[in-house]
Structure 1
C-alpha cells in the first residue's frame, strides 16, 4: 500500500517526518518498505499561463508562445507540443531552472527565434513515463507560483507492506484510522452525502448465490462526458498511489477504491441489458477481459456478473471487454458489491490474474462500505463528467457497523500477557480509536464490539495484541521470564534411550495393531480392543503390551541370521477396563544370543535371566523407592525365570525368559524380556548432595542357611526394613547348594558394609548390627548361621 502523506493530511494532522511516521507504522506491524519523494528533484519551474500562440516563421511544428510566468514581461518561448493553446495553464521552466536528469534551461534560439524558457510535459518533470503534450494544469493556479508548491510535489510516499489480516488498511481511510490511534489525534472522517437521484432509470439486480455475494448495489448514470479531463489533484493522487490515470470514469472508480478500500466497476449501460445477474459461471462459457488480450474459460467455481445473455465480468476480479467504457460512453451502470473472501479465494490466480480488486476481496472488505463508496463515486462522476444519476438498487442487506458478538476483555488478562497494567482510560481510548464499541462491565472488565472492517478481531487475545501495538511494543517493560523446572520434558526418556543404545540396544517402533491370537498368547487374561475396520487380518486388535512387537521383530531378524539381538521400544499399551480404555506408556526390551561378542580367547557366554534383570536395575536407578524383584508367574514368561518388578511395594513391570511355547511358536531360542512402566522410570531425579564420611568402613560377611523357596530379595528387604543407621549397604555375593546342606536348603552369603560419619566404629558397633540382622532373619525366615 502506497501512502501519500499529503493525501493522509485530509484525514488528520501529520507533524512527524516521513521517517518517524514510517517507524511508528513499522513498530505497529505495518512494515515500511520504502520512502519515496512524490516527484524527482527539480527547481525553477513555475506555473505559466499561455497568453498567445503564433506559428513559428521557419518551422511548421513549432509555435511561438507568450507566457505569463510572474515576470514583469511575458516570456517568449518556442514550443513544439501539439496541445498548446492560448489560455492554457502549464509548467514553465524559466532560464536557470534544472529539470530531472541535470538538464539546465538556458536562453536559446530555435530556428532563429529566441526562447526564454521551456513549457514542460509531465514526462519532462519526471511525473510520468510518457506524455502526448504539455501538462495541463488547473486554470485557477496563479501564474508565477512555484510548481512544486502549487502541486504539492514536496510530498512523500510511504510504501507499506501489509500482512493479510490487515485488509482494513488497503484504503486511505483505514490507514488514517490507524495513524489516528497510533498518534492519538482526532480523525476527520467526514460524512459522505447521498447524491439525489434525478433520473428514474434503474437496473434489476438478481443475486443467485447470496453466500458469495451478500450485498450488491447498482446505479445508472446518464449524460456523462467520457472525454472529460480527470482533475489534476485526482490524477496526482492516483499516480502517487501507483495507479496510472486512464479516463475520468475509470479514474473515479480507482480513486474511491484507494480512498475507502472498496472496489467498484463501471459498465457501459448501452452494452449490457437492464438486468444484472450475480451467478456462477457455466461450463463452456468464456469471457474476454478488459483490453481484449485475454480470454478466460469459466467454470462453476467462478463467480461472474452477467446480464440476461452473457457474462460481463469476473466478479471482484476484472471486467469484460464487451461492456467496457470508452470515449463514446455516455451511460454507465456503476457497480458496488461485497464478495465473500472464500468465494474469490484463488480464482484470480487460477486465471493468471492479480488485480487491486481481487487483492482486497480475497483478504476481506468491510461490507458497510458499499453504500458509502457508491455515493462517493456517484458524486465525483457527476462533478467531473456531468450528467445525472438514478436511484441505487441494492440486493441484500447492509449489516451494522459493529459485529454482533461481544468480546470480553479483562484487565487481569492484559497484565498477564503484556506484563504491564494499562489504565482503564488508555484501554478504552485505544479501542475506540480503532472503531470498537466499548462497554464497561464488572470492575476491570469490558465488553468490546469489533468493527466489521477488522475481521481479525475475534477473541480477547486479539484485542490485547491491538493494545500492545498501539500503546507501543517498545514501551512494554523488559522483564526476564522466571525460571521453570530445570529438567526439560522427556529428558529422562532421552537419557534412558541413550543409555540403552550405549549398551548395544537398538530402538524399534512397531505397530499398535496386532493379531488377536498373538495377543491371546502373550496376554490371555486381557480381552483386547478390537478395531472396527482393521487394515489387515493380522492387525485386528490394539496391543495390550509391547512384547509381541519385539518378539516378532526378533523372529524376523533371527530368520536372517542375526542371532545376537538387544531391542527396546517405548510406546503405549491399550488395556480395556471398567472405566474405558487405559493407555499406558511402557518401556520394554528384548535380549537374545551371546552376552558378549564372539572372541578368540574363549567360548562366549549366552545371555541369562541375570543379564536381563541387570538391565532392569540400570533402568531403575532413578526410582523414588527401592527396586525389588519378586518371583511371580506371568503367562508369557518361563515359570522358573519370571519376576515382578517392584518399586517399594508398587508393581511397575516384569522381567523374565520368554515362555518355551511362545519361543517355539516364533522359532526362537532363549529370549529374555522386560517391561516397565515408563512413568516410573522415565524421569531424571534432581541430583542431591550426599556427604562422604571421613571414617573407614567395615565389612562383615554372614552365611545364612534358608529354605530353597525363600527368595534372596526377601532377605534383603527384611534387612532394609530394620533401618539400621550404621548399615550402609548389603551385598549378596554367593549362593551355595550341595555338600553340607540338607535337601531343600541353600546358603546365601551376605556382605554387610558399616560406616559412621562422626567416629570410627569399634567391635561393639559391628556386633550390634550383625546381631540385629541375624535375629531379624531368624524370626522372619527361620534362617540359621552356616558354620
Structure 2
C-alpha cells in the first residue's frame, strides 16, 4: 500500500515529524518498506505562463519563450520541451533555484540565445518520473504562486507492507485510525453527504450468488463530461500513490479505493440494458476484459451481468465492451461487497493481478459500498457535471451479520502481556481505533466496526492493545517452571542421525518446494493421486509432489548445467497423495541422487562412474542404523532403467516383508527429456519403516566354537543371490549364524547360461559343540533345498 504523507495527515492531524511518523507505522505493525521524498520545498520555483513561443533561430528543436513569472516579471527562456506553447502554465525555476536533483539554475546561453531560468517537467521537480515534457498546470493556477504551495509540498510517498489480516489498512482512512491511536491524536471527521437524486434514471439489481455477493449498490449519472480533466489534487495524490492518472471516471474510482479501501467500477450506461446482476459463471462462458484478453470462465468465477450477459469479472476487472471512454456521457457506477472466498485465487488463475482483487481477497468493509458510491458521485459531479439518479441497493441481510461484542477481561490482558495497562489507556486505545467500548465488571465489552472483521476473539483485542501501547513497553520476563526432558525413543533412529549418516557418505542436503509443476510429474508418470492446489503461488507450482525424486533430479540437472560434474544430494520431506473423501495423506520419505564419479577426484585411485551398487551401499548404511535387513527385488517402473533398478523391502522379525521404496538408475530417456546428459542413480524410501528398530536385547555369546563350510553351487543365470540366501537360511535353521558370498564365477568349467556362487556357511550352537553329523545334516538340508527350489548343483 503506497500513499502520500500529506494525504494521511489530512485524515489524522499530527505534529509528528516524518521520521517519527514512519517509526510509528513500523512499530504498530504497518512496516514501512520505502519512503520517497517528493519535491522538497522547491524554493525559487513558481507557477509561470508562457506568453509566446517562437522557433529558435539556430535549432529546430528549441523554442524561445517569453514567460510571465508573476508580479509583472517577464523572463526569456530557451526550452526544448515538445509541449511548450503559448498559454501553457508550467513550473518555472528561477535563476538561483536549486532543484531536488541538485541542479542549480544559472543564466545560460543556448546556441547564441540567452535563457534566464528553466521550465520544468515533473521529473525535474522530483514529483514523478515523467520527463516527456513540461508539467502542465491547471488553467486556474495563480501565476507567481510558489510551486510548493500549489503541489502541497514538501511531501513524501510512503509504502507500507501489510499482513493479510490488515485489509482495513488498504485505504488511507483505515491507516489513519492506527496512527491516531499510536500518536494520541484523533481521526479527522469524514462525513459524506448523500447526493440527492435529480433524475429517476436507474437500473434494477438482482443478486443470485448468495453469500458470495451479499451487497451491491449502483447509480446512474447522466450527462457527464468524461473528457474533463482530472482535478489536480486527485491526479497528484494518485501519482504519489503509484497510480498513473488515466481519465476522470477511472481516476475517481481509483481515488476512492485508495482513500476508503472500497474498489469501484464505472460502466458506460448506454451499453447496458438491465437488470444488472451478480451470479456464478457457467462452464464455457468467456469475457473480454479491459486489457483486451478473452478470459475463459468456469463455475469458480463470479460475474457481474447485464440481462444475464457477462459484463465484468466481479471483484477483479471490468469488461471491455462496457468500459467508459472519453466519449461516454451516461455512467453506471458500481460499488459492491464480495466475499473473499469468492474472489481469492481467481485473478491468479487468469494470470492477473489487480488492486481490486488484492483487496477483495483479503476482505473489504461490507458497510462501505454506499458511502463510497456517494463520495465518488460527488467527486464526479464537481469535476464533470451530470445529473445523478437514485442509489439502487440490493442486500442479502442474512449474509451481512453485524459484528458481535467481545469481552476483554482485565485480568486476562494483564496475564498475557505481563504488565498492567491502565484502564483509561486501554479504553483510549480501543476507542481511537474506532471500536465501541463499554465498561464491564470484568473489563470491557468491545464491538469492532465492520471494517475490522479481523477482530473476533479476546486475543485479537489483546494484540491491539499490545501493539498500540508498544511492544517495547512489555517487560522481558523469563518463563518460570521446570521443563520436562524427554529421552529420545530407542525404537526409532532420529532424523538428525539419518542426515549425519548421509552427509558422512558425501551427500549434501537439498530442500525443494513441496509444490511442483504438473508437467514434471507427468514426465515421471507420477501424476496418479496427485493433489492439485486450488490457489497455487504460480502455474509452475500447481500440485503437491507425490515423490521426492522429480525435484531432486531437477535440482541435479540445474547443477550439472552449471559445470558441476559430480553431484550427490539427499532430501528428507513429505510427499502427498490424494484420498477420496479425506485429507491428503502425508508420507515422510528420504531420497538421494548422484551422478559423476563415485569418489572425489584424487591421484591415488582411478576414477569410475557412480553406479547402482554405490547407491545400494549408501542405502544399506542407512539400514544398518536401525539394524534393518533389506531385500532387493528387480523392478521396472517406466522411469527407471531396465535391469538397473530394484524395489527395496525390509524383513520384519515375524518373517514378513514391507516395501520401503526404490533404488536404481533413472531411465536415460527420462534424463534426456529433463535435459540431463549424464547417468543418474538414486533411491527413495519411506523413512518411518526404515528407521524403526527393535529394542536392543542383551545376550551371552556362545562359549562353543563355530564351524565354517564353504559350498559352491552352479545355478541358472536368472537366479538371484537374494533368493538363494533366503533358501539357505530357511533350510539351515537356527544353527546358521552367518552367511557369506565370497565368489561369483562365469566362464570355463561352468555351462553357458549358468553361474557359480561360492558361499560360506558359519554354523554354531549356543548350548553345545556341533558334531560332524550336525554339520553334515545342515549342509545336506541346504543342498537339497537349493536343488529343489533353484535347480542348483554342487560345482565339481
Q: Retained in 2: the 8 A contact 1:402–1:451?
A: no
> Which residue number corresponds to residue 554 of structure 1?
653
- Structure 1 278/21 Cα, relative in aligned 2: closer, same or farther at 3 Å? same
Match of 1:491 in 2: 487
- For 1:46-78, what per-residue CA distance to the aligned partner results, in whole angstroms no more than 9, with x for missing partners? 22133x225447478765443222465311234
**Secondary structure at 2:276's aligned position in 1?**
strand
Change beyond 3 A, Cα 1:70–1:459: same
| Residues 1:61 and 1:332: Cα distance change in structure 2 (over 3 Å) | farther
Partner of 1:73: 73
Please list every run of at least 4 consecutive aligned residues from structure 1 whose deviation after the TM superposition is greater than 6 angstroms. 398-402, 494-498, 667-670
Cα distance per residue 1:123-163 (max 9 Å; x no partner): 44343333664322234544333323431232122211000
Change beyond 3 A, Cα 1:388–1:558: closer
Q: Does the 8 A contact of 1:209 with 1:279 survive in 2?
A: yes
Deviates more, 1:100-109 or 1:471-480: 100-109
Residue pair 1:202, 1:274 contacting (<8 A) in 2 also: no
In 2, Cα distance between the equivalents of 1:263 and 1:337? 8
TM score, norm. by length of structure 1:
0.62
Give me the whole-angstrom Cα distance separating, in 1, the residues matched to 2:219 and 2:657: 84
Aligned residue runs from structure 1 range 286-685, under 5 A: 286-292=286-292, 294-308=293-307, 310-396=309-395, 403-442=402-441, 444-485=442-483, 487-488=484-485, 490-491=486-487, 553-556=652-655, 595-596=700-701, 602-603=704-705
Q: Distance in 1 between matches of 2:266 and 2:68?
A: 40
CA distance in 2, matches of 1:398, 1:2: 34
RMSD of Structure 2 on Structure 1 (CA)? 3.7
Give distance in 1, aligned partners of 2:130 and 2:419. 56
Q: CA deviation at 1:401?
A: 10
Residue 198 of structure 2 aligns to a residue whose secondary structure is coil
Q: How many residues align?
A: 529
How far 1:168 sits from its partner (Å)?
0.4
Residues 397 and 434 of structure 1: is their aligned pair in 2 closer, same or farther, counting only changes over 3 Å? farther
C-alpha contact (below 8 Å) 2:53/2:84 kept by paired residues: no
Please say which structure displays the higher CA radius of gyration. Answer: 1
CA distance in 2, matches of 1:668, 1:180: 85
TM-score normalised according to structure 2 size:
0.61
| C-alpha separation in 2, matches of 1:415 and 1:668 | 71
Residue number in structure 2 paired with 1:541: none
Identify the residue that residue 682 of structure 1 maps to in structure 2.
none
Counterparts of 2:137 and 2:319 in 1: how far apart (Å)?
33
1:5-20 to 2 correspondences below 5 Å: 5-20=5-20
Separation of aligned partners in 2, 1:205 and 1:263: 18
Distance in 2 separating the partners of 1:144 and 1:474: 49
* Conserved 8 A contact 1:165-1:456: yes
Change over 3 Å in CA distance of 1:474–1:402 after alignment to 2: farther
Contact 1:402 1:437 in 2 (8 A): no
Number of the residue aligned with 2:36: 36
Q: 1:448 to 1:103 in 2, by over 3 A?
A: closer
Seen in structure 2, the aligned counterparts of structure 1 residues 590 and 7 have a Cα distance that, compared at 3 Å, is closer
Corresponding position: 1:136 with 2:113: no
1:397, distance to aligned residue in structure 2 (A) = 5.2
Secondary structure at the residue paired with 1:211? helix
Question: 2: distance between equivalents of 1:118 and 1:469?
Answer: 49
**Displacement after TM superposition at 1:439 (Å):** 1.9
Q: Hey, what does 1:170 align to over in structure 2?
A: 170
How far apart, in 1, do the equivalents of 2:336 and 2:191 lie?
20
Superimposed CA distance per residue, residues 337-392 of structure 1 (whole angstroms, 9 cap, x where no aligned partner) = 00000001110110001111000000000011111100000000010111121111
8 A Cα contact 2:108 2:115, kept in partner: yes
The 1:416–1:361 alpha-carbon spacing in structure 2 relative to 1, beyond 3 Å, is same
Deviations 1:236-267 (Å, cap 9, x if unpaired)?
A: 11111111111111100000000000000001
Change in CA separation of 1:153 and 1:384 when aligned onto 2, cut-off 3 Å: same
Q: Indicate how the Cα distance of structure 1 residues 199 and 62 shifts in structure 2: closer, same or farther if over 3 A, else same.
A: farther
Asked if the contact 2:52–2:67 (Cα under 8 Å) also holds between the matched residues in 1, the reply is: no
**SS of residue paired to 2:210:** coil
Cα pair 1:402 1:436 within 8 Å, conserved = no
1:273 offset after TM fit, Å?
2.0
CA contact (8 A) 2:366 2:450 kept: yes
CA distance in 2, matches of 1:409, 1:232: 46
Alpha carbons 2:214, 2:399 under 8 Å: kept: no
Q: 1:297 to 1:41 in 2, by over 3 A?
A: farther
Contact 1:138 1:232 in 2 (8 A): yes
Deviation at 1:103, TM superposition (A): 4.5
1:419, 1:452 → 2: CA distance? 30
User: Match of 1:336, SS?
Assistant: strand
Instruction: State how far apart, in whole Å, the 1-side matches of 2:311 and 2:40 are.
Output: 41
Shift of 1:668: 9.0
Q: Distance in 2 between matches of 1:400 and 1:184?
A: 36
Please report how far the alpha carbon of residue 101 of structure 1 lies from its aligned counterpart in structure 2 after TM superposition.
5.1
In 2, Cα distance between equivalents of 1:189 and 1:399: 31
C-alpha displacement at 1:310, in angstroms?
2.8
CA distance in 2, matches of 1:461, 1:558: 51
Displacement of 1:400: 12
Query: Would the alpha carbon gap of residues 211 and 496 (structure 1) be closer, same or farther in structure 2, given more than 3 Å must change?
Result: closer
- Unpaired runs of 5+ residues, structure 1, are 502-551, 560-570, 572-586, 605-666, 671-787
Structure 1 residues 45 and 590, CA gap change in structure 2 (3 angstroms): closer
In structure 2, the gaps of 5 or more residues are: 498-650, 659-687, 707-731, 736-796
Q: Work out the CA distance in 1 between the residues paired with 2:257 and 2:69.
A: 37
